[in-house]
A = this chain, B = another copy of it.
Amino acid sequence: MQWTKVLGLGLGAAALLGLGIILGHFAIPKKANSPDLDLEILETVMGQLDAHRIRENLRELSREPHLASSPRDEDLVQLLLQRWKDPESGLDSAEAFTYEVLLSFPSQEQPNVVDIAMTLPPPPTVGPTGDIIHSCHRTEENVTGEQGGPDVIQPYAAYAPSGNPQGLLVYANHGTEDDFKELQTQGIKLEGTIALTRYGGVGRGDKAVNAAKHGVAGVLVYTDPADINDGLSSPSETFPNSWYLPPSGVERGSYYKYFGDPLTPYLPAIPSSFRLDLANVSGFPPIPTQPIVCSLGCPVNVSVYNRLELRNSSNVLGIIRGAVEPDRYVLYGNHRDSWVHGAVDPSSGTAVLLELSRVLGTLLKKGTWRPRRSIVFASWGAEEFGLIGSTEFTEEFFNKLQERTVAYINVDIAVFANATLRVQGTPPVQSVVFSATKEIRSPGPGDLSIYDNWIRYFNRSSPVYGLVPSLGSLGAGSDYAPFIHFLGISSMDIAYTYDRSKTSARIYPTYHTAFDTFDYVDKFLDPGFSSHQAVARTAGSIILRLSDSFFLPLKVSDYSETLRSFLQAAQQDLGALLEQHSISLGPLVTAVEKFEAEAAALGQRISMLQKGSPDPLQVRMLNDQLMLLERSFLNPRAFPEERYYSHVLWAARTGSVATFPGLSNACARANDTASGSEAWAEVQRQLSIVVTALEGAAATLRPVADL
């Protein structure tokens, strides 16, 4: 072949290639193959997230009570499907996944009753402030016209057994173990009594568990105005005249100890799944329990007629398919079900969810944008009964989710109050939250970024970064729990919240009552919806950064600070005790150091790579290391008695030392018991479990071809 021909062919080929590129450019959605986060798109999304539309979403979502599995809950499933399938602002696809789950409801024929039983002998009662009995409302007062009607479920303790205990009333503070021990110490006979407890201190169900251990026959739970209303309680000082809870307000809630469907632990609650016999279910309150209005005294007669029912409850899932790495999922979710109207809990979050999906969906349908990775939106069912929808989802798709999920973002109650952002999450998500919030204007006075406002309320001194906003850690308060504890997926929970110098309310006052309505939000919580918008922008920016960045913005080296602080707490607060029992923290020190070194070295390799022009496969391998780091802290055999909790750094900590939970808890138990060697062996076992996890995690951060 002659040279000129070769050249000619070459030019022809180049022209063809050029044509191909041009064709490709217009055939494929613009930006589809954008190699990295597109700041223009980010700006567009930030600009389009509309406070007014969030307000309209909320009005519709909270128009009627939508208890899990109720007809209105089903209507909202259809509303979500309709929005997510909208040809102009919907997602690529959307689907409802239905489970058959065990819920608990009060009887409609026989309402639960708490009566003063004058036939019982007169009071040797210990009361909170010695108040005199009034009466017992079965329902909340119809203050705004929204507290009546058949769909407003009576206040009750979900999963508390039915029964009719009668007995003397004994005030038991929070109903903690210590509270009951204290009463015993005071010589008060608890056998056969009804314990009056107030919300707070321990989990709802724990009050009945602790009470039953002392022979208590029934438990009442009330909301103390001191805990939630900054002490105010008169009608004129409360809703609809302020954000405070009216005197008749009663907090509903699930009293189930675990999460997920009670009949199908570790199995999805599809109709065919094996279900436990009711006799073998654990975690329900052992004695009748009822939440009540606060003012009560002396002998009472408690009648609880709750019943368990198998009900259908649906999750709604919607997806935007990733253009380049569709098998990497950025998962964003909130529950849909409420106790009554649930304007704050959870509809404030759902209103934000719908606005986010609308804005992203519109860009998608216009062909303007498609993310690098897939974005999955989720509306969970039956969260209020114990994170049921999200848990069943993780049970059904365990492997698929564990292999592919980049991070889980939860926005449940989007706005508790207007003061500041509040984020809970694991260390790898800190940096992306910081990056996002630095670029968004804070609502309210001044010209601060959300970040700069946030740091005024929650901050800490980081050895690496100096003063930074502080992230809280993830408990099990919302649907992130199965993702972080069961699947080991880096997770976060985002909300706007209080100025703690202005209120000491345990939570927003109308929480889980019939007073949590649209007007409550519109008038008191977030008039103008600018805090809702701020949460939407924060979550939206995080979603875009996680789904569109070439390098995943998960900074695994931020775990080093946590590990170091856990280690220091162990050394300072447990070191001497452990030494007495010949247990050395040396291997833990080594493991933390190894993690720190490997994480730092990985950070350097990332920086180097970012300076060059790495190929997509190289970056994918690195991103896999980042995405999967959190998984390496999972050990399903670490805490066999704790259902779902497998994350050795974030499992529930009962011990008082803020360190590795397995170690902290085992030390607390060993120090408590006289039993000795077995309990100290468990301390050593827990220490080895965490050392193995840290060494294993460090090994995943090393260059992948190192032995």
Please state if A319 and B92 are interface contacts (CB–CB under 8 Å). no
Please state if B685 and A397 are interface contacts (CB–CB under 8 Å). no
A374 within 8 Å of B (CB atoms): yes
| Most chain B beta-carbon neighbours within 10 Å: one of A10, A93, A266, A376 | A266
Please state if A267 and B689 are interface contacts (CB–CB under 8 Å). yes
Please state if B272 and A688 are interface contacts (CB–CB under 8 Å). yes
Please state if A621 and B327 are interface contacts (CB–CB under 8 Å). yes
Q: For window 659-707 of chain A, which residues contact chain B by CB distance below 8 Å?
A: 677, 681, 684-685, 687-689, 691-692, 695-697, 699-700, 703-707
Please state if B326 and A396 are interface contacts (CB–CB under 8 Å). no
Please state if B695 and A396 are interface contacts (CB–CB under 8 Å). yes
Q: A326-B705, A705-B92 are in contact. Are A399 and B697 (CB under 8 A)?
A: yes
Q: For window 254-274 of chain A, which residues contact chain B by CB distance below 8 Å?
A: 264, 266-268, 272-274
B321, B681, B707: the one contacting A95 at CB < 8 Å is B707
Please state if B628 and A399 are interface contacts (CB–CB under 8 Å). yes
A564 within 8 Å of B (CB atoms): no
A432 within 8 Å of B (CB atoms): no
Q: For window 598-634 of chain A, which residues contact chain B by CB distance below 8 Å?
A: 615-617, 620-621, 624-625, 628, 631-632
Q: In the bound complex, what is the Cα–Cα distance between A699 and B10 (angstroms)? A: 46
A324 within 8 Å of B (CB atoms): yes
A400 within 8 Å of B (CB atoms): yes
B93, B326, B399, B631: the one contacting A621 at CB < 8 Å is B326
A586 within 8 Å of B (CB atoms): yes
A475 within 8 Å of B (CB atoms): no
A398 within 8 Å of B (CB atoms): yes
Give the shortest distance, in Å, between A678 (CB) and chain B (any CB). 9
Please state if A691 and B272 are interface contacts (CB–CB under 8 Å). yes
Please state if A267 and B688 are interface contacts (CB–CB under 8 Å). yes
Interface flags for A309-326 (1: CB within 8 Å of B; 0: not) read 000000001110110111
A19 contacts which chain B residues (CB < 8 A)? Answer: none
A692 nearest in chain B by CB position:
B267
A688 contacts which chain B residues (CB < 8 A)? Answer: 264, 267, 272-274
Please state if B705 and A624 are interface contacts (CB–CB under 8 Å). no
A637 within 8 Å of B (CB atoms): yes
A452 within 8 Å of B (CB atoms): no
A395 within 8 Å of B (CB atoms): yes
Q: In the bound complex, what is the Cα–Cα distance between A518 and B83 (angstroms)? A: 75
A689 contacts which chain B residues (CB < 8 A)? Answer: 267
Give the shortest distance, in Å, between A316 (CB) and chain B (any CB). 10
| Most chain B beta-carbon neighbours within 10 Å: one of A684, A691, A692, A697 | A692
Copies in the complex: 2
Please state if B326 and A700 are interface contacts (CB–CB under 8 Å). no
A111 contacts which chain B residues (CB < 8 A)? Answer: none
Q: In the bound complex, what is the Cα–Cα distance between A92 and B14 (angstroms)? A: 40
A587 within 8 Å of B (CB atoms): yes
A318 contacts which chain B residues (CB < 8 A)? Answer: 707
Give the shortest distance, in Å, between A211 (CB) and chain B (any CB). 30
A40 within 8 Å of B (CB atoms): no
A628 nearest in chain B by CB position:
B403
Q: In the bound complex, what is the Cα–Cα distance between A705 and B280 (angstroms)? A: 39
Q: In the bound complex, what is the Cα–Cα distance between A276 and B637 (angstroms)? A: 16
Interface flags for A439-483 (1: CB within 8 Å of B; 0: not) read 000000000000000000000000000000000000000000000
A655 within 8 Å of B (CB atoms): no
Give the shortest distance, in Å, between A417 (CB) and chain B (any CB). 35
A127 within 8 Å of B (CB atoms): no
Please state if A681 and B327 are interface contacts (CB–CB under 8 Å). no
Please state if A700 and B621 are interface contacts (CB–CB under 8 Å). no
Q: In the bound complex, what is the Cα–Cα distance between A160 and B432 (angstroms)? A: 57
Give the shortest distance, in Å, between A506 (CB) and chain B (any CB). 36
A404 within 8 Å of B (CB atoms): yes
Q: A396-B696, A700-B400 are in contact. Are A327 and B624 (CB under 8 A)?
A: yes
B325, B398, B586, B620: the one contacting A696 at CB < 8 Å is B398
A277 within 8 Å of B (CB atoms): yes
| Most chain B beta-carbon neighbours within 10 Å: one of A264, A276, A620 | A620
Q: A267-B688, A617-B325, A707-B95 are in contact. Are A272 and B396 (CB under 8 A)?
A: no
B267, B326, B624: the one contacting A704 at CB < 8 Å is B326
Q: In the bound complex, what is the Cα–Cα distance between A295 and B584 (angstroms)? A: 54
Please state if A696 and B277 are interface contacts (CB–CB under 8 Å). no
A10 contacts which chain B residues (CB < 8 A)? Answer: 14
A203 within 8 Å of B (CB atoms): no
Please state if A637 and B266 are interface contacts (CB–CB under 8 Å). yes
A192 within 8 Å of B (CB atoms): no
A625 contacts which chain B residues (CB < 8 A)? Answer: 327
Q: A14-B14, A93-B707, A616-B616 are in contact. Are A685 and B398 (CB under 8 A)?
A: no
Q: A95-B707, A620-B620 are in contact. Are A700 and B636 (CB under 8 A)?
A: no
A396 contacts which chain B residues (CB < 8 A)? Answer: 692, 695-696, 699
A272 contacts which chain B residues (CB < 8 A)? Answer: 584, 586-587, 688, 691
Give the shortest distance, in Å, between A261 (CB) and chain B (any CB). 13
A400 contacts which chain B residues (CB < 8 A)? Answer: 632, 696, 699-700
Please state if A321 and B705 are interface contacts (CB–CB under 8 Å). yes
B94, B624, B636: the one contacting A403 at CB < 8 Å is B624
Interface flags for A88-119 (1: CB within 8 Å of B; 0: not) read 00001111000000000000000000000000
A264 contacts which chain B residues (CB < 8 A)? Answer: 688
Q: A272-B691, A274-B687, A319-B705 are in contact. Are A399 and B95 (CB under 8 A)?
A: no
Give the shortest distance, in Å, between A581 (CB) and chain B (any CB). 13
Q: In the bound complex, what is the Cα–Cα distance between A266 and B397 (angstroms)? A: 25
Give the shortest distance, in Å, between A679 (CB) and chain B (any CB). 13
A583 nearest in chain B by CB position:
B274
B684, B692, B700: the one contacting A395 at CB < 8 Å is B692
A398 contacts which chain B residues (CB < 8 A)? Answer: 696
A321 contacts which chain B residues (CB < 8 A)? Answer: 705
Q: For window 394-436 of chain A, which residues contact chain B by CB distance below 8 Å?
A: 395-400, 403-404
Please state if A374 and B322 are interface contacts (CB–CB under 8 Å). no
Q: A404-B704, A620-B617, A621-B326 are in contact. Are A397 and B699 (CB under 8 A)?
A: yes
Give the shortest distance, in Å, between A165 (CB) and chain B (any CB). 31
Q: In the bound complex, what is the Cα–Cα distance between A636 and B395 (angstroms)? A: 13
Top 5 A-B pairs, shortest CB-CB distance: A272-B587, A327-B704, A274-B688, A321-B705, A399-B632
Contacts A/B (CB < 8 Å), 7 sampled: A326-B621, A326-B705, A395-B692, A399-B697, A403-B624, A620-B620, A636-B636
New A-B contacts (4) at CB < 8 Å, excluding given A267-B685, A267-B689, A280-B681: A274-B687, A324-B617, A326-B703, A399-B632
